[in-house]
């Protein structure tokens, strides 16, 4: 906190008009491109003492938001991946078998799992792919969320520090190997839906993350990646992470091949772009995105064929679509 700021007691705001949260928000915003409203809602939820479900496709800044908030607020972030192996024992913890043989069961030889670690440290327990965790594991989490304490056999009752929160995330488009969340789970969580950002914000993200100095390449990488989300035959397109990789790989290929990257952000018409540049973008597109897009099960085409169509549409058939914005 800044000197003289009001304090946040257990992440519940005290002081004049929530100035402490505003100060944290200002610092967190420096790490992000866009996401102003999502940041406000996330901070409001955790400052109000609520647990939260972040729902959105991969690559929509869910982890980035949470890491920035906890880093600037000085709160531990305990990460755990939701999957079939996340049993209640792995979540809560276990006694060290070797020490048990020597010492019998004691609180001292208990090895805390991520849930107990987060409760004791007052951290945020971040459960990624929440709906992939087994139902009995979710029930264990429900107890911790409802009571803010949990009874551990042969250890005793662990009471959570006031700043303890459960933050879960899930991809709404992924139904394979997932568990349908019960109404009891939904009743314990506030829900923040996070979608893809607009083209301008994604260009800002790619430029910041890659350091690529060609506005044209950044714009093309973003436009092509966004196009994968707009086709009916693509079940799930690529996130901005794909655009980042397209830009990075294309820049490396251009340096290796001696290809000049256009300096102008928006040649009009873009048919004037050099053929070696557009070919370099195509190669980068195939490498970066062919494993990131998932076609509808009824489609016989390959990801490579779909990406080539998008490339042709962008550079050859509808050149106006290539212009940023």
- Structural contact between residues 221 and 243, judged by C-beta atoms closer than 8 angstroms: yes
- All structural domains of the chain, each given as residue ranges with its CATH number in brackets, are 50-193 (3.40.50.300), 199-322 (1.10.8)
What tens digit of pLDDT does each residue of 259-278 get? 999 876 654 545 568 889 99
Taking only the tens place, the pLDDT of each residue in 153-190 is 888 999 999 999 999 998 876 655 566 778 888 888 99
Closest CA to 193 of 55, 34, 60, 35: 55
* Three-state SS annotation for 155-180: CEEEECCCCCEEEEEECCCCCCCCCC
Closest CA relative to residue 39, chosen from 5, 132, 52? 52
Cα dihedral 242/289/281/205 (nearest 10): -10
11 pLDDT band (50/70/90 cuts)?
low
Q: What is the pLDDT of residues 278-303, one digit of tens each?
A: 999 999 999 999 999 999 888 888 99
Map residue 15 onto helix, strand or coil: coil
Asked if 278 and 315 count as a contact pair (C-beta separation under 8 A), the reply is yes
Q: How many CB atoms lie within 10 A of CB 313?
A: 15
Query: What's the pLDDT at 179?
Result: 67
Global confidence as pTM: 0.78
Decide: 34 and 204 in contact? Cβ < 8 Å. Answer: yes
């Amino acid at each position: 906190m800044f000197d003289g700021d009001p304090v946040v007691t257990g992440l519940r705001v005290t002081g004049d008009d929530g100035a402490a949260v505003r100060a944290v928000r200002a610092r967190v915003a420096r790490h992000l491109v866009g996401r102003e409203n999502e940041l406000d809602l996330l901070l409001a939820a955790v400052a109000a003492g609520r647990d939260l479900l972040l729902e959105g496709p991969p690559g929509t800044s869910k982890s980035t938001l949470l890491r920035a908030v906890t880093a600037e607020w000085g709160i531990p972030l305990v990460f755990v991946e939701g999957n079939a192996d996340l049993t209640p024992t792995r979540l809560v913890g276990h006694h060290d078998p070797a020490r048990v043989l020597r010492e019998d069961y004691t609180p001292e030889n208990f090895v805390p799992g991520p849930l107990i670690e987060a409760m004791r440290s007052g951290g945020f327990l971040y459960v990624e792919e929440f709906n992939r965790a087994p139902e009995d594991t979710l029930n264990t989490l429900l107890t911790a969320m409802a009571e803010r304490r949990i009874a551990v056999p042969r250890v005793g009752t662990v009471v959570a520090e006031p700043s303890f929160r459960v933050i879960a995330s899930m991809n709404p488009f992924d139904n394979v190997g997932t568990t349908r969340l019960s109404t009891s789970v939904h009743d314990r969580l506030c829900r923040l839906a996070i979608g893809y950002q607009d083209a301008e914000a994604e260009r800002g993200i790619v430029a910041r993350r890659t350091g690529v100095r060609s506005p044209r390449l950044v714009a093309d990488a973003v436009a092509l990646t966004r196009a994968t989300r707009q086709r009916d035959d693509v079940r799930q397109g690529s996130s901005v992470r794909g655009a980042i990789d397209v830009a990075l790989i294309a820049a490396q290929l251009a340096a290796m091949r001696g290809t000049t990257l256009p300096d102008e952000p928006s040649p009009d018409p873009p048919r004037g772009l050099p053929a070696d540049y557009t070919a370099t973008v195509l190669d980068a597109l195939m490498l970066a995105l062919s494993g990131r897009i998932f076609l509808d099960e009824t489609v016989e085409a390959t990801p490579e064929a779909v990406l080539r169509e998008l490339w042709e549409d962008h550079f050859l058939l509808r050149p106006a679509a290539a212009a940023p914005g």
